[in-house]
Amino acid sequence: MDVISVIRTKRDKGELSPEQIDWVIDAYTRGAVADEQMSALAMAILLNGMNRDEIARWTAAMIASGERMNFDALSRPTADKHSTGGVGDKITLPLAPLVAACGAAVPQLSGRGLGHTGGTLDKLESIPGWRALLSNEEMLHVLDTTGAVICAAGDGLAPADKKLYALRDVTGTVEAIPLIASSIMSKKIAEGTGSLVLDVKVGTGAFMKTIEDARELASTMVALGTDSGVKTVALLTDMSTPLGLTAGNALEVRESVEVLAGGGPQDVVDLTLALAREMLDAAGLKDADPAKALKDGSAMDVWRRMISAQGGDPDAALPVARERHVVTAPSSGVLTRLDAYDIGIAAWRLGAGRARKEDPVQAGAGVELHARPGDTVTAGQPLLTLHTDTPEKFDYALGSLTSAWDIAPEGTDFKATPIVLDRIA
């Protein structure tokens, strides 16, 4: 077996054999296949796709590259959630403690930013002292004592995916449906959760731009999970507009705490509750009321315990960017569009994301929104505020915002897109 023949097979639109898939995943994990060779294979997969058998085998090979966890010793049923990534998507932060407050155990293995989308771990690392890297023993302890844990996948869990995940971010292959599906499901199946809810984003700010592609990805992942004995359901949710009023790391943590305190933007609250209900239903806790847990403070209590258990200080001040630039509305009228992708690129250019896998991110960088589609705006009023520690990046970020919004004449009818577009089970 050699990597050149594997690359050529997929380059020429052939089907990879089970032996080829097993070999190339194992060889890449061991370092016998170089990053540039796996980059070529990933690009061939992006361009030419994989069939269901190939995806299933690729996922199994990723799982087999490491260990598998088991939560049978816990007294609570386990439920996990995964988002395919979006702009302003801070939902995991309030969701995990909320579901835990309702009686489930939430082992949330999360990732870092990919392209223009934010990463949950990057957000949480803006909290002073908080640690993403936990041993399996530490993870189980936090899960057992608080009901929820949000952390990085350990080195032993699907190590092939850890290498490939970072490589995809910097080689233009993030959007490949077979690679997205196998990346997500290899970690979730190896993690050992009993049930899984997938939040598959659709729209300009998502990797899946069309409802058809989103359904294909969701159906692929639901099948992979179900075939592996994990109760799996997917919601297709809108990502044409950023979620909430912030896109950035510390900015999104601040907004998440507002949601846990009973406030926050309505779209973030609505999606958090929709996903919580799906997770609780999948875990067999149909009578739990997540809306009550938000109102009575029990979700906030779990958040504080969870952050503290991972070394963070829930009372510490969050980082604030040193420089700000206000973008004003160029005319008066009804804001009918605020493009999620353009906002995500601006946040990335300001320092909230990374261009290379080894790049650091700025905790305080990002974009703050002062209006959402459907709002009436006046010429000259603040529309966005850009945050960064490096003001020389303002012009670079502004370049992505030249066509980020539409403002229609006052009185224009506006019909909001529902946050949940479809459900696949």
Give the separation between CA 310 and CA 297, rounded to whole angstroms. 20
- Which 3 state secondary structure label does DSSP give 201? strand
Q: Which of 241, 236, 188 is nearest to 213 (CA)?
A: 236
Between CA 316 and CA 334 the distance in angstroms is 38
User: Is 141 assigned a catalytic role?
Assistant: no
Closest of 132, 220, 133 to residue 180, by C-alpha? 220
C-alpha span between 47 and 95 (Å, rounded): 35
Active-site residue, selected from the candidate residues 57, 82, 163, 354: 82
For this structure, is 325 an active site residue?
no
* 247 beta partners: 367
C-alpha dihedral sign at 376, 378, 380, 382: negative
Q: Which of 22, 80, 161, 238 is catalytic?
A: 161
For residue 134, give Cα distances in angstroms to 66, 130, 149, 170, 309.
16, 11, 10, 26, 11
Backbone conformation region of residue 158, classed left if phi is above 0, alpha if psi is from -120 to 50, else beta: left
Place of tokens 């906002």: 343
- Alpha-carbon span 47 to 175, nearest angstrom: 10
Check if 131 is active-site. Answer: no
**Alpha-carbon gap, residue 349 to 346, rounded angstroms:** 5
Catalytic-role residue among 90, 187, 354, 393: 187
Of 110, 183, 186, 228, the catalytic one is 183
75 classed as catalytic:
no
Q: Is 243 in contact with 154 (CB distance < 8 Å)?
A: no
Helices 92-101 and 266-282 sit at what angle, rounded to 10 degrees?
Answer: 50
What is the spatial distance between Cα 270 and Cα 355, in angstroms, rounded to a whole number? 32
Q: Which residues pair with 108 in a beta bridge?
A: 150
Concerning whether 415 is annotated as a catalytic residue, the answer is no
Give me the catalytic one of 116, 123, 168, 387: 168
The catalytic residue positions are 82, 161, 168, 183, 187
